[in-house]
Amino acid sequence: MTTVKTVPVKTSQEGPATSLNVHGICHSVSSMVNPEWAEATARALLEEPLPRRWSHTQGVAGTARTLASILGDNADLIVAAAWLHDIGYSPAIAVAGFHPLDGARHLRDHEHADQLLCCLVAHHSCAIIEAAERGLAEDLVSEFPAPPAELADAVIYCDMTTGPDGQRTPVTQRLTEIGERYGPGDLVTRALTRSAPELTAAVSRIARNMVGS
């Protein structure tokens, strides 16, 4: 039986919260996730049209590989999600104009990818907050249930400690760089302001686990 919970998501700093029905937790539909396939898929979509995004992606995947000691059987899954998290920026597959949703839909509909992998891409780095700003939150959660929190934390850690050119960077610096790149009036910046506490907390949780491993 699928559980349904109501999650409040505020659509702007001043605006009211909206309630979304989030259907259960996304689980894997297969036991095999191939990081080499994920790398090749990301390379084909990003390397030529978006070389800087490709550099970032390579750095995120490199960081994911350092988490193997705390991820156990999920290590390959997180490395694959790291390779694929930004493929929705590719002009070849961008339809909705929201890269987590476009990337996850491409993986589901064209690559027939593992369900949990699709959910990790769809929800990476608190994407639900930006989805609400864009009016796409209901689409996101109805098509891709939230992944388990500990796996979402791992993807956040990899993304939020990697700069736009693939360099390792503190999460605070990463958040500042994104905000400056989009500017104070952009919806991405508004969403980032709302999600920053959770992004920072997720990075801290993974860092603590790494120290204890």
Confidence band, pLDDT 50/70/90 cuts, at residue 190: very high
Annotation: CATH topology of 30-128+147-212: Hypothetical protein af1432 (1.10.3210)
Average pLDDT of 181-200? Answer: 97
SS (H, E, C) the chain: CCCEEEEEEECCCCCCEEEEEEECCCCCCCCCCCHHHHHHHHHHHHCCCCHHHHHHHHHHHHHHHCCHHHHHHHHHHHHHHHHHCCHHHCCCCCCCCCHHHHHHHHHHHCCCCCHHHHHHHHCCCCHHHHHHHHCCHHHHHHHCCCCCHHHHHHHHHHHHCECCCCCECCHHHHHHHHHHHHCCCCHHHHHHHHHHHHHHHHHHHHHHHHHHC
Largest CA distance in the chain: 44
Integer-rounded Cα Rg, in Å, for the chain is: 16
State pLDDT tens for residues 144-168.
Answer: 999 999 999 999 999 999 999 999 9
So what's the pLDDT on residue 85? 98
Domain boundaries, the chain: 30-128+147-212
So what's the pLDDT on residue 24? 64
Average pLDDT of 185-212? Answer: 96
Per the rule left: phi > 0, alpha: psi between -120 and 50, beta: everything else, 63 is: alpha
**How much is the pTM?**
0.89
So what's the pLDDT on residue 25? 76
For 8-12, 49-53, 183-187, which range has the lowest pLDDT when averaged over its residues?
Answer: 8-12
State pLDDT tens for residues 8-37.
Answer: 444 444 443 433 444 467 865 444 699 999
Q: Are 80 and 38 in contact (CB under 8 A)?
A: yes
State pLDDT tens for residues 56-96.
Answer: 999 999 999 999 999 999 999 999 999 999 999 999 999 99
Report the percent of the chain where pLDDT is more than 90.
Answer: 83
So what's the pLDDT on residue 212? 77
